[in-house]
Each structure stands twice: as C-alpha cells, then as structure tokens.
C-alpha cells in the first residue's frame, strides 16, 4: 500500500506542476515579454478559465500527503516552515494580481497588480524548483551537530534560508545554496517555455510568433543549467542507482526526458501547436520521474549518518488507513476528473477576446 500511495502522491504533485506550471510560465512571460496591453490581455486570456482550478491539484496533493505519509508531512512542514509561508504569500499576491488588475481602469492601479502577478509567478517557479532541489540534496534530519542530534524527535529539522558556505555539502545546509538555486533556475526556464507553449496553443496572432522566437534562447539557457545541475546531481550522496539496476526499464524515464527536451526545440514553430506543449509536458513529467526514481524509496534524504533518511516505509500511515483512504481518493479523483474534463471541453481550441476572464 505504501508504494501505491507514493505513486498517487507523485502523480498529484506532477499534475499540479504541469497544470499550474503553465500558469507560472504565463506570469513570467507577462512580466518580461508581453510589452503592450494587448499582449498582456492575451496572456491572461490563455490562463483565465483554468488557473484557479489548477491549484486544486496542490490542495489535493497536500491532503494526500497528510493522509498517507503523516510523518513526512509533519517533518517537512515544520522544517520548511519559513519558505512555505513565503510561498503562501506569493500565492495570495498572484491571485490578487489576476483578479484585481482591471477593477479600476487607471494605470496607477493596473501596473502594480500586473507586476505583482508577474513577480509572484516568477518567484513561485523559482521557489518550487529550490524546494525540489532540497528534496534531492537532503536535509540535516535531527539537527545533528558534532555527531549529536539536537532535536528530541529524530525526524525534526530546521533549515535556514542559507548558511555562510552557500554549499549543499555543508553540515547544516540552508534552503538556498548554489545547487538548489541551479535547480530553481532550471524550473524557471522550463516553466517559462511551458507557459509559452500553452499561450501558443490557446491563442493566436503576432504575439504567438514572438513567443516562438523566444523559445530558442530560453532553450539554450535551459540546456546550460541542466548540464550544471546534472553534474552536481550525480555527486549528491542521495543519488541511488539501485532501482535502475534492478529494473532497467526505468531508464525509459531519462530517455523520455531527453525526447521531451529535444521536442521543445524542434516543435517550437510547428503548425501543430500541441506538439510543443506535449514536449514540455513530457519533459516535466519524465524529468521529475527520473529524479524521484533515483531517490526511491527515500523521500527526504538525511545529510548526516546519525539519523536515517525519510522513506515511504517509515513515514506512512497504518495499512488499514491507507486502504480506506484509497476508496475515498478514487471517489474524489473521479469528481475532479469530471470537472477538468468539463472545463477543458468548454474552453477547447483557441481562446478569443470573447473569452476574456475579466
């Protein structure tokens, strides 16, 4: 049951990153590339009917995490308390930026809210990438110093925003170091391309051609940071080859990641706009899957040798609770699936000015 719920949890978080990820990317494009009011409206038109529904996946994933892996939930939410509160405020400002922008038709009102939407989207993409970098790198479980755990509960930890060395190999690494920043920048560039592909898919006009031209330099920058992150990734103590050795079919994940990455470049100007979006979606799903598979069964590695890492087995609920929860999850997921099918059917195809969210 632990493996079943772990797969469900990964599925929920990946669905959130794919769906709300294009909202983050659209916000970044709104901030840097949409220069005219018409272009800004086009960006908002592309995400208007979808952005709030996409956030349901994050709430649902949090519920799944709490129900299936309560020890992991308690440890992560206490250890990452400060960055999580910062993310919460960014979500609030992003939503206000979307909903408040056109309440008053005056530049002094509109501009700050537009900037708030763009900056919040940028920082959310960066912070989620940094968070994923922390999961790959690991944390100092138990707050070990000089070979002694400082916290009463062995799975407790406190991670400062950064430490003086700014190194992922420090005894007590911070949330932000050169490795997690690199993963954060990979996330920003990936979601920017993903958002551009969504806007290209859902709208039309000169701005679409402009975005198609912007994908190439973004892709080149992404390639550079991926190389840096891969070199750093294989040096992390949390990297495991066991799953790939035992199940060679798992090598399909990095292969699909490569295919998605190349597809983002090859299909950036394709007349079949869905190919570009499908490529960035494949890159996100298989890329996260490759990283998660390299950690399995660990969910948060321990950077010390005193306290064991958090795994799907030492953080899960009792078997009875997992079995009962699975029934309710199937019911809830069916309802969510019906809702998303309905929304995307109503707003299928290109969205014109009559679909303006505001």
Contacts of 234 (CB under 8 A, 6+ apart): none
**pLDDT tier, 354 (very low <50, low <70, confident <90, very high otherwise):** low
- Over range 133-152, report the average pLDDT: 80
pLDDT at position 151 over 80:
no
Predicted pLDDT of residue 169: 80
**pLDDT tier, 224 (very low <50, low <70, confident <90, very high otherwise):** very high
Q: In the chain, what percentage of residues exceed pLDDT 90? A: 44
pLDDT at position 28 over 90:
yes
- Over range 52-79, report the average pLDDT: 89
Predicted pLDDT of residue 277: 95
Q: Where are the domains of the chain?
A: 2-355
On the 0-12 / 13-18 / 19+ scale of CB atoms within 10 A, 213 is exposed
Q: Are 20 and 193 in contact (CB under 8 A)?
A: no
pTM for the full model?
A: 0.90
pLDDT at position 263 over 60:
yes
**pLDDT tier, 122 (very low <50, low <70, confident <90, very high otherwise):** very high
**pLDDT tier, 358 (very low <50, low <70, confident <90, very high otherwise):** very low
**pLDDT tier, 239 (very low <50, low <70, confident <90, very high otherwise):** low
Task: Choose among 135, 136, 148, 71: nearest CA to 304.
Answer: 148
Predicted pLDDT of residue 353: 63
**pLDDT tier, 54 (very low <50, low <70, confident <90, very high otherwise):** confident
On the 0-12 / 13-18 / 19+ scale of CB atoms within 10 A, 62 is middle
- Over range 321-336, report the average pLDDT: 89
pLDDT at position 222 over 70:
yes
- Over range 7-29, report the average pLDDT: 94
pLDDT at position 230 over 60:
yes
Q: What distances in angstroms separate CA 104 from CA 42, 101, 269, one per listed residue?
A: 19, 7, 37
**pLDDT tier, 336 (very low <50, low <70, confident <90, very high otherwise):** confident
**pLDDT tier, 240 (very low <50, low <70, confident <90, very high otherwise):** low
pLDDT, tens only, 264-319: 999 998 889 899 999 999 999 999 998 888 888 888 888 888 888 888 998 888 88
SS (H, E, C) the chain: CHHHHHHHHHHHHHHHHHHHHHHHHHHHHHHHCCCCHHHHHHHHHHHCCCHHHHCHHHHHHHHHHHHHCHHHHHHHHHHCHHHHHHHHHHHHHHHHHHHHCCCCCCHHHHHHHHHHHHHHHHHHHHHHHHHHHHHHHCECHHHCECCECCCCCCCCCCCCCCCCCCCCCCCCCCCCCHHHHHHHHHHHHHHHHHHHHHHHHHCCCHHHHHHHHHHHHHHHHHHHHHHHHHHHHCCCCCCCCHHHHHCHHHHHHHHHHHHHHHHHHHCCCCCCCHHHHHHHHHHHHHHHHHHHHHHCCEEECECCCCCCCEECCCCCCCHHHHHHHHHHHHHHHHHHHHHHHHHHHHCCCCCCHHHCCC
- Over range 239-257, report the average pLDDT: 80
pLDDT at position 157 over 50:
yes
Buried b / exposed e over 175-202, threshold 16 CB at 10 Å, is bbbebbbbbbbbbbbbbbbbbbbbbbbb
Rounded CA gap, 60 and 78, in Å?
Answer: 19
Residue 228: what are its φ and ψ, rounded to 5°? Answer: -60, -45
């Amino acid at each position: 049951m632990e493996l079943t719920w772990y797969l469900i949890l990964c599925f929920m978080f990946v669905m959130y990153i794919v769906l709300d990820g294009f909202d983050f990317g659209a916000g970044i494009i709104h901030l840097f590339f949409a220069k005219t009011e018409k272009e800004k409206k086009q960006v908002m038109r592309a995400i208007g009917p979808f952005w709030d529904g996409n956030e349901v996946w994050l709430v649902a994933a949090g519920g799944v995490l709490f129900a299936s892996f309560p020890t992991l939930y308690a440890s992560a939410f206490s250890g990452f308390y400060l960055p999580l509160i910062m993310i919460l405020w960014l979500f609030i400002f992003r939503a206000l930026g979307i909903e408040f922008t056109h309440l008053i038709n005056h530049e002094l009102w509109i501009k700050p809210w537009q900037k708030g939407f763009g900056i919040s989207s940028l920082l959310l993409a960066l912070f989620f990438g940094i968070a994923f970098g922390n999961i790959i790198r690991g944390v100092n479980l138990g707050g070990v110093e000089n070979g002694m755990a400082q916290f009463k509960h062995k799975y407790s930890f406190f991670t400062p925003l950064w430490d003086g060395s700014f190194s992922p190999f420090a005894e007590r690494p911070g949330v932000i170091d050169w490795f997690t920043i690199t993963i954060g920048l990979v996330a920003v560039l990936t979601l920017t391309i993903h958002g551009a592909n969504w806007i290209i898919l859902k709208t039309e006009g000169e701005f679409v051609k402009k975005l198609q031209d912007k994908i190439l330099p973004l892709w080149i920058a992404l390639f550079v940071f991926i190389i840096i992150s891969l070199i750093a990734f294989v040096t992390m103590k949390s990297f495991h080859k066991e799953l790939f050795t035992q199940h060679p079919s798992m090598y399909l994940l990095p292969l699909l990641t490569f295919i998605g990455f190349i597809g983002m470049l090859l299909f950036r100007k394709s007349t079949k706009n869905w190919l570009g979006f499908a490529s960035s979606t494949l890159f996100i799903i298989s890329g996260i899957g490759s990283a998660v598979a390299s950690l399995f069964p660990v969910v948060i590695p321990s950077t010390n040798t005193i306290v064991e890492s958090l795994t799907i087995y030492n953080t899960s609920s009792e078997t009875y609770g997992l079995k009962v929860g699975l029934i309710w999850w199937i019911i809830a997921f069916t309802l969510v699936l019906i809702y998303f099918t309905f929304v995307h059917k109503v707003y299928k195809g290109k969205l014109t000015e009559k679909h303006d969210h505001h």
